[in-house]
Amino acid sequence: MSDEQPLTVRREGPVVRAVLNRPHRRNAMSAAMMEAMDALLGELEADRAARVLVLEGAGGHFCAGLDLGEVAQTPGDEAAKLSAQVARNAATGARFARIAALPQVVVARVQGGAFAGGLGFVCAADVALCDNTARFSAPEVRRGLVAAQILPWVVRRTGRAAAQRMVLQANVLDAAAAARIGLVHEALPDAAALDAAVAALVADLLRGAPGAVAETKALLAALGPVAPEGYAAAGADAFARCAVGEAKEGIAAFQEKRPPAWEAAPP
């Protein structure tokens, strides 16, 4: 399968639709996809004609998170790998912050899996809607990694108690469970209902004055930072240490479809 266009973008008047487009990898976040995403964010930050961004995934998937194949294949010696992982994770955190800070209203339209970094996209969006196929998880600890940069956004969306359970238990939530804890604003029964709900939401959003909407988003941000100063750097360092340590076994086990060495049999 080709990765020539890992992010497709189409403009429908004031509405921009961005589609994560690696369905053969469940839309896992490759470097090329994130480069395209960063370019789009740069355009939208200066675009006052665009008023709504709808973020979705191709092929019935939302986003499986970071492409673990790329993590495992990071070149260089241990110092170079550590530096690369720090940079990758820091960029991920900055990307979520940029999405949240856009003057446009960001809507996550979720079908299928929204795992790890994909979950971060959902929580950085202003509004998230899903259908009954949606599944949500922060599986990082099961791969020997940490949910470093998604954690503040999950906490902001669901509250600390629910987020704490998600990132430590690393289980999968279905659409109904996600709605119950506020991870998504609404869970629809099927794709047709999801499309209708997104269309109605977008129509409502376009009734708001664009300047007032942007100012309201800025005031929401002014209520307090999503994480304390220094958290992003500490998270990037923690992710990098795990990525060059336990994640070697965790990613190998995931790719080989076997339990990792640390997994104990349940009592």
Q: What is the pTM of this model?
A: 0.95
Which amino acid, residue 150? I
Q: Regarding the domain delimited by 7-191, which CATH topology (the fold level of the hierarchy) does it fall under?
A: 2-enoyl-CoA Hydratase; Chain A, domain 1 (3.90.226)
Q: How confident is the model at residue 2 (pLDDT cuts 50, 70, 90)?
A: low
Q: Report the distance separating Cα 66 and Cα 118, nearest Å.
A: 8
**pLDDT single digits (tens) 227-259:** 999 999 999 999 999 999 999 999 999 999 999
More reliable by pLDDT, 1 or 22 = 22
The rounded percent of the chain whose pLDDT value lies above 90 is 90
Average pLDDT value for residue range 13-36: 97
Q: Give residue 114's pLDDT band: very low, low, confident or very high (50, 70, 90).
A: very high
The answer to whether residue 1 scores a pLDDT higher than 50 is no
With a cut of 90, say whether residue 50 has pLDDT above it. Answer: yes
pLDDT band for position 136 (50/70/90)?
very high
Query: 70-103, pLDDT tens digit by residue?
Result: 887 888 888 898 898 899 999 999 999 999 999 9
What residue has token string 């750097």? Answer: 233
Report the mean per-residue pLDDT for the chain: 95
Structure tokens at 101: 């800070």
Give the pLDDT mean for 21-25.
Answer: 97
**Structural domain spans, the chain:** 7-191
The catalytic residues are 140
Residue type for position 85:
Q
